Chains A and B, each alone.
Chain A
Amino acid sequence: MDCTAIRDLVPLYIYGDLSAAQAAELKQHVDQCAPCCAELAALEQVRQALAAAAAPATVVNIPQLYQQAARHEQSRVRRWRRVAVAGLALAAAVLLAFVMHLEIRFADQQMIVSWAGAAPDVIHTKPPKPVSVKPPAHAPDKSRESKDDADPRAHLLLPQRSYFGILRVQEGAAPYLVAKGEDGSHHRYTYLLHGTTLHGMQFLKPDDPTQPDLSRVATVYYHRHGPVGLVMEKYNWFGDGAKGNENAYHSDARLPAALVATCNQPCSALVVLWSEPPYATIGLGAGNMASYGRPFQHVHYYEIDEAVRSMSLPADGKEPYFYHVKDALKRGSNVQILMGDARQNLAKPWRAGEAGKESAGGPDQFYSVIVVDAFSTDAVPLHLLTLESFELLFKKLAPGGIVAIANVNPNLNLAPLIGDLAAKHGFAWKRVKDKGSHEPGHTASDWIFVAPKADNLKVVKDK
């Protein structure tokens, strides 16, 4: 070993950390090498000097140590208890989410929370964008139940709870309801949900005047090419508007012409005679039936829920959510909404000029068509399905008139009940199921038509 290697080993030699052979070799070298010998001596002196640096000892306070240990143990127990509680809460939340099928998703600056198949509650994180961007291709629906939970872009315009249930007006674009414009854009629309049942919708007037205006199209199960729509076409004397222009009838121009010709009041009775036959609808919904209203035609609604009325005719002068009724009034249709229970109102005597008031009922032998659509998701108003109810409805029908009943309740099929009643009491009935189509707003539907005579049902076309 040379001096460099020896000097690296000198500290270990001093402390006795070399093997016997290394120690002997180092000793032999140091005895013959004066510099290495001096190094050994110097480091030995450092070692002796280190002994001078004694450090003071401290005493541990054992009673205090026991107290510290007790406190530490208590805080450890508390910590584990908190962890256990948090873990249990998390497990419960996960279990609840699993059982309830809880789903939280973000789309279009909205947080959408839904569970157990319920319609989603939409929480706007920012003002929503207009719902007109890239909806899927239009397709007919398989049922008339609400599919709003399938549409993350739908957003709530009005949530309302009335005595008769939970009502929601939503603006949106469930895929099966979307109409495709000529340039590929899509129409916005509003729709009414009662519970989970879709009770009508209306296309909004397009912002772009070059786009087709579908705001008068009777939608969902009232569609012009659905069972009731085809019946209403029978009463379209002029036979126009069925193709091409879906939103207007040329014969609507009668209103200004008639007003000029009749000089208003003196000859108004003649004008009434000149209009299409009256019809009534029990259950206003979104007012779709009003879209069939022509100038001077009597369009009566029997509605029990003030909240539903205010959606089409707000009392405070605000803009309505649905424009069918307002538009029909503008066209000159004689639209009247008789508030209260339909059967009670129908039973009251008709008083001309008092329509809409509590004292007024429906006129006898007046309506060509009475549409009964008062069946919500959860409850069937059974007093509208009794023999006495049908006798009352038939009393209000004009000769040749029919009653159309929407078979919308998902839990109770009304067809066999009405069929039994009809067979027992000798009136005619017919059920028509419609699968819907690709036309804008045309969904599937199920209708039961009832009439005092079988001949009356000739206006009903099989689908």
Chain B
Amino acid sequence: MRRWQEGDAMAFEVLVRRWQAPVSRFLHRLVGAADVVQDLCQEVFLRVYLAGPRYRATAAFSTWLFQIALNLARDAARRRPGPQPLDRNDAPDPGLSVEGAFAHKELAQVLAEAQAQLPAPLREVLILRHYENMNFEDMAQLLGVPASTLKSRFAAALTRLRGHLRQLGWSPQEIV
């Protein structure tokens, strides 16, 4: 980001390639619909490009980037009311057997539905902590909520997710 601000035009493209996958996965988990994610991801980096000259490194770049993505995802969610089950069209691990691949796909579907049933504040914390491996201090800065509250939400999210999974017929033995 600093290199780009100093005039290195190629630095922006490097930045996009570095962060496009984490951002798109994050958006995918928040929003669910693949067609929307493509547009949202494009919009995130457009905003980064437009706001780049004004960016000041007061926090981690990832926090600022995910803040933009989160705001866009929330706007999209408002336009598409109701939780959207996540699309699960990703290819299973090629190392799995046919049965293993089928079970993996089935588990992914169940997880998507279970996560979609979580309230947005809990889902956001779960995604940021588990998938983005963000600590609670950075999360507090991003979401504008005290870290202690976020820890409580995270504990609640994990516990409720287990309950939803059980309701959907999942048992620990399905982990492959």
A interface vs B, CB < 8 Å? 8-12, 14-15, 17, 41-43, 45-50, 52-62, 64-66, 68-69, 72-73
How far apart are the CA atoms of A65 and B42 in the complex, in Å? Answer: 7
Main secondary structure of the interface of B (DSSP, over half): helix
How far apart are the CA atoms of A68 and B49 in the complex, in Å? Answer: 10
Interface residues of B in 1-60 (CB under 8 A from A): 13, 16, 20-21, 24-25, 28-29, 34, 37-38, 41-42, 45-46, 49-50
Residues from chain B with Cβ under 8 Å of A43 in the complex = 158-159, 162
How far apart are the CA atoms of A60 and B108 in the complex, in Å? Answer: 25
How far apart are the CA atoms of A172 and B151 in the complex, in Å? Answer: 79
Shortest distance in angstroms between A162's beta carbon and chain B's nearest beta carbon?
Answer: 65
How far apart are the CA atoms of A73 and B51 in the complex, in Å? Answer: 12
Of A53, A56, A65, A66, the most chain B CB neighbours within 10 A belong to A53
B46 touches A56 (CB 8 A): no
Q: Known pairs A52-B107, A52-B108; list 5 more (Cβ under 8 Å).
A: A14-B158, A46-B165, A54-B25, A68-B46, A69-B49
B158 touches A61 (CB 8 A): no
A49 touches B107 (CB 8 A): yes
Find the B residue at minimum CB distance from A51.
B130
B28 touches A65 (CB 8 A): no
How far apart are the CA atoms of A275 and B154 in the complex, in Å? Answer: 115
A59 touches B129 (CB 8 A): no
Contact partner, A65, options B46, B115, B152, Cβ 8 Å: B46
Q: Is B170 an interface residue (CB 8 A)?
A: yes
A55 touches B49 (CB 8 A): no
Shortest distance in angstroms between A185's beta carbon and chain B's nearest beta carbon?
Answer: 65
How far apart are the CA atoms of A69 and B162 in the complex, in Å? Answer: 44
Residues from chain A with Cβ under 8 Å of B69 in the complex = none
Residues from chain B with Cβ under 8 Å of A54 in the complex = 25, 90, 108
Q: With A55-B86, A58-B24 in contact, do A47 and B130 touch (Cβ < 8 Å)?
A: yes
Which 10 residue pairs of A and B lie closest in terms of their CB atoms, listed nearest first?
A: A57-B21, A55-B28, A45-B172, A58-B24, A53-B111, A55-B25, A11-B158, A11-B155, A56-B90, A60-B20
Residues from chain A with Cβ under 8 Å of B161 in the complex = 46, 50
A57 touches B29 (CB 8 A): no
Q: Is B77 an interface residue (CB 8 A)?
A: no
Find the A residue at minimum CB distance from B88.
A53
B111 touches A56 (CB 8 A): no
A49 touches B46 (CB 8 A): no
Residues from chain B with Cβ under 8 Å of A73 in the complex = 50
Q: With A48-B175, A53-B86, A60-B45 in contact, do A11 and B159 touch (Cβ < 8 Å)?
A: yes
Q: Is B89 an interface residue (CB 8 A)?
A: yes
Contact partner, B111, options A8, A52, A60, Cβ 8 Å: A52
How far apart are the CA atoms of A57 and B27 in the complex, in Å? Answer: 10
Q: Is B72 an interface residue (CB 8 A)?
A: no
How far apart are the CA atoms of A447 and B143 in the complex, in Å? Answer: 88
Contact partner, A46, options B16, B46, B86, B158, Cβ 8 Å: B158
Find the B residue at minimum CB distance from A15.
B129
How far apart are the CA atoms of A64 and B39 in the complex, in Å? Answer: 11
Residues from chain A with Cβ under 8 Å of B45 in the complex = 60, 65
Find the B residue at minimum CB distance from A67.
B46
B165 touches A60 (CB 8 A): no
A-B contact pairs, 30 of them (CB 8 A): A8-B152, A10-B155, A12-B151, A14-B158, A15-B154, A17-B135, A17-B136, A17-B151, A42-B162, A43-B158, A43-B159, A43-B162, A45-B175, A46-B161, A46-B165, A48-B175, A49-B172, A52-B107, A52-B176, A53-B29, A53-B86, A53-B107, A57-B24, A58-B38, A60-B45, A62-B13, A65-B42, A65-B46, A69-B49, A69-B50
